[in-house]
Amino acid sequence: MIDLRMLNIEQRVQWALENLNPNFALTSSFGAQSAVCLHLLTQQFANIPVILIDTGYLFPETYQFIDEMTARLNLNLKVYKSDLSPAWLESRHGDLWNKDLSGITQFNQIMKVSPLQKAINELEIKTWFSGIRSQQSSSRKNTQIVEQRGHVTKFHPIVDLTDRDIFLYLKKHNLPYHPLWEKGYVSIGDIHTSQPSLGMDDSEKSRFFGLTRECGIHEVNFKK
């Protein structure tokens, strides 16, 4: 098998599109540096489904960024949500994100993981492109370019890119960071569990009050 580490990111995407099992999709949180993968994938597969999991608790700036990038790249955006609205969730469970790690885990399962599983099943996705990078957190440092998650192949074309690589790609293609990047946010999720990392000794503490880094989306194993 070809050593994907020896290919540049454009060549990796080309290889995946030619050799992995369709149907293809890209997930995006429309976070700090999400424009890189959105641009990278749509340059070779313009109509690739872009799955957004909308918890209903995203920052206003994130919704604006979603609209901006969707218009700019003509994205084939597929928005998935929990069966529970934020108001209904809170009426049943209260503020789960304030109930330590168990509450955060339950919130993520209801509002993020379950909608992702629904998206993968409904769209019959076989190859899932993701923009996660090993430099982002300790929980991602051993991530491989290609991984098998049940019947779904997960492909990480930019996994070994550094922050500088990201900056250079954005600059080369005149792409924006998320607007909250300049306010010190390096990881941007829901409004109640994301903080700017300015002054923190560890940027991983800027998500979920430092209790965890992962929301569960990138740890799912899909069953047929």
User: If you write DSSP's letter for every residue of 158-183 in order, what string do you get?
Assistant: TTT--HHHHHHHHHHTT-PPPGGGGG
| Catalytic residue (choose from 26, 50, 186, 215) | 215
Asked whether the beta carbons of 39 and 62 are under 8 A apart, the reply is: no
Structure tokens at 159: 């996994």
215 is catalytic: yes
Q: Given the DSSP bridges, would you call strands 76-80 and 152-155 parallel, antiparallel or unpaired?
A: unpaired
* Gap between the terminal Cα atoms of the chain: 26
Asked whether the beta carbons of 26 and 51 are under 8 A apart, the reply is: yes
Q: Mapping DSSP to helix (H, G, I), strand (E, B) and coil, where does residue 131 land?
A: coil
**How do the residues of the chain divide into helix, strand and coil, expressed in percent and rounded to 5?**
45, 15, 40
Asked whether the beta carbons of 190 and 55 are under 8 A apart, the reply is: yes
Where do runs of H (alpha helix) occur along 74-148? Answer: 86-93, 100-108, 114-122
Buried b (16+ CB within 10 A) or exposed e, 194-221: bbbbeeeeebbebbbeeebbebbbbebe
Q: Which residues are catalytic?
A: 215
